[in-house]
């Protein structure tokens, strides 16, 4: 059974989120602070973490950095509505997605399913892609640029692989959200732009002058081999 760790210092929020997740067939474990969450991650090995930004002791951002330093465990960040800076920082430190409080439990469950679906091990029929100075290996979930192994989150890898599998084809924001995140663009308020920026910082030789991930103004993005 897929296990979701719910980390929030508000017992009511934890209870509601956990109850809805269990209703959808997930197993849930809960933590009210960052220290307890760390212990549960190392001892229970959850499949995904729903993580509140504001936590006593170890805050959500620090915990997310720690999670990302250990591997690709998917993280959905809970942030205060309207705190755009918090959401961007959360994505910057490696969160796969975020939901703003107050949130719809149905939306949260949908996002949990979408993130899990996209973070599953790659299918064996996905081929390795090789370009000038850039290698993308779905079997090993690895990206190498100029001989150097890059560390990408699961969602960054999925976005890069999708674009690179369709070189020179321009995809709109709506198409990318549907294909990579698994939900409509109407639910996105900056996730895609942040992931594009993070990918450019990793795969581009000059991120300020991208030659791999190009913006086609008024249309969307494309990968240039």
List, for residues 132-165, the tens digit of each pLDDT value: 889 999 888 889 999 899 988 778 888 999 999 9
**Digit-coded pLDDT (tens) for 104-117:** 888 888 889 888 88
- Judge contact between 125 and 118, C-beta under 8 A: no
Q: Is 105 left (phi over 0), alpha (psi -120 to 50) or beta?
A: alpha
Q: Please say whether the beta carbons of 17 and 62 come within 8 A.
A: no
pLDDT reported for residue 135: 94
Condensed to tens digits (0 to 9), the pLDDT of residues 82-109 reads 566 666 777 777 888 888 888 888 888 8
DSSP one-letter string for 140-159: TTEEEETTEEE---HHHHHH
- Residue 194 has φ and ψ, to the nearest 5°, of -65, -40
| pLDDT of 124 strictly over 70 | no
């Amino acid at each position: 059974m897929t296990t979701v760790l719910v980390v929030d210092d508000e017992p009511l929020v934890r209870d509601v989120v956990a109850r809805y997740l269990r209703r959808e067939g997930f197993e849930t474990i809960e933590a009210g602070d960052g220290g307890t969450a760390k212990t549960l991650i190392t001892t229970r090995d959850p499949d995904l973490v729903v993580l509140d930004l504001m936590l006593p002791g170890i805050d959500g951002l620090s915990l997310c950095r720690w999670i990302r330093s250990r591997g690709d465990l998917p993280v959905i960040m809970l942030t205060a509505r309207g705190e755009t800076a918090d959401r961007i920082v959360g994505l910057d430190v490696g969160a796969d997605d975020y939901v703003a409080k107050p949130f719809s439990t149905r939306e949260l469950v949908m996002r949990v399913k979408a993130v899990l679906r996209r973070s599953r091990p790659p299918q064996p029929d996905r081929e390795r892609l090789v370009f000038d100075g850039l290698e993308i290996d779905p079997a090993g979930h690895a990206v190498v640029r100029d001989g150097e192994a890059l560390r990408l989150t699961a969602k960054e890898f999925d976005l890069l692989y999708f674009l690179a599998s369709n070189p020179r084809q321009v995809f709109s924001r709506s198409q990318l959200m549907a294909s990579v995140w698994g939900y409509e663009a109407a639910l996105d308020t900056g996730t895609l732009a942040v992931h594009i920026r993070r990918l450019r910082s990793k795969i581009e030789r000059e991120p300020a002058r991208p030659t791999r991930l190009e913006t086609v103004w008024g249309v969307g993005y494309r990968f240039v081999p």
